[in-house]
A and B are shown apart, each in its own frame.
Chain A
Amino acid sequence: MLLSGSKVTKKFGGLYALKDVDFEVRKGEIVGLIGPNGSGKTTLFNVISGIYNLDGGKIFFDGVDISKFPAHMRCKLGIGRTFQIVRPFNEMSLIDNVKVGLFFSSRRNLNPREVEKEALTLLEFVGLKEKAHFNAMDLTLMEKKKLEIARAMATQPRILLLDEPLSGLNTAEVLEAVKLILRIRDEFNISIFWVEHIMGAIMRAAERVIVLNNGEKIAEGTPEEISKDENVIKVYLGERYLKRGAL
């Protein structure tokens, strides 16, 4: 078990953004997280990565209780994340963006030349090597999302939290991004926890899917089970999804 949470609760005032959510991600697994807007998916990610403090429950990473750890400590332990609304360091070049991650990852004693080489390798992995010295603000959305992934990979994560990496991309780009995500898992053996609204992609790639609604977990299982679950169809997928049989 790499990452797990028990009875994770987060309140904003009197409103429960997350209520007693249990989840687990095993080593080398791709877990999907779906649910309607406002169901607490991003809040769960913020709680896992340490941006919000928990109001109840516990989160374990590799057997260690990290509920009280600040975000930078969690990053050093091996939790990398990307953001739904991309947050590249706009006025820095791509290579510097990635270097920041390498400098502050858990690995020590990297000399500047190694860092440079490593950063280029990561940019090559996501396919941005030719643009290494561009400013991040000059990229397209797709490239920014790739940069986010490269930057998160630079922190040497053992689990990657991807917050809607496919939103706003066209069909061709979606296929490319899914391939990239699968490669991350296969080549680096990084577990992936993935929020997505594009069902086609997540149902194909994910091994397990967790469904949130109003801050509560309503279903968990393989994509096939989820797509037949009555509750999930009612609150999120809709009747037409079942009829269309799209999977």
Chain B
Amino acid sequence: MAKQDFKGKATIVKETFPSEIVSIIGSILAGILLSLLILPFKSFIVLILIIPALLSLRGNISGPFIARTSRDLIVGEFNKRSWLENVLATLSLSLITALLIGFLSIMLNILLLHVLTLPIHMLILIPVISILFTLTISIPCSTGLNFFAFKRGIDPNNLVNPIMTAIDDFSTVLCFYLTIILLGVP
């Protein structure tokens, strides 16, 4: 099954729309969760600076991970080694970018917000720990879903990304919340 037969526009809608519904529900739930769990924090004005970047980072890292896994499955190049290298690259990229988000949010806080409710090291630890928690959920889920779709003859490109957006958006906010609770953020 090296190549998968790609179908017409009706199939794109049929395969993509249901997973997009899941994505929308997940994202709306993430929005509600965000306002319920994160809004009451005293440091909210600083935290809200990091959250969009973390949600972006999640999309930037796990989106290509999913797309590479789908492509490897479809073109027949998927194996244990390629998957492990894919995972390692994803983790390395996440750590480096999370650190950068931390440093830049410190700078933005000092230059623009002037809110000193959080110790500086927290702004480094929050994105790093939070994104590692999220990837622990995201990587196994997306790999499993890719396999599930491919084995059933559904194009993983259409199905996996929207469903993972829902799972990832929700788990990003949840893991962010768990991280700030773990670190004792006021």
Q: Do A and B bind?
A: no
Q: Which residues of A are at the interface with B, using a C-beta cutoff of 8 A?
A: none
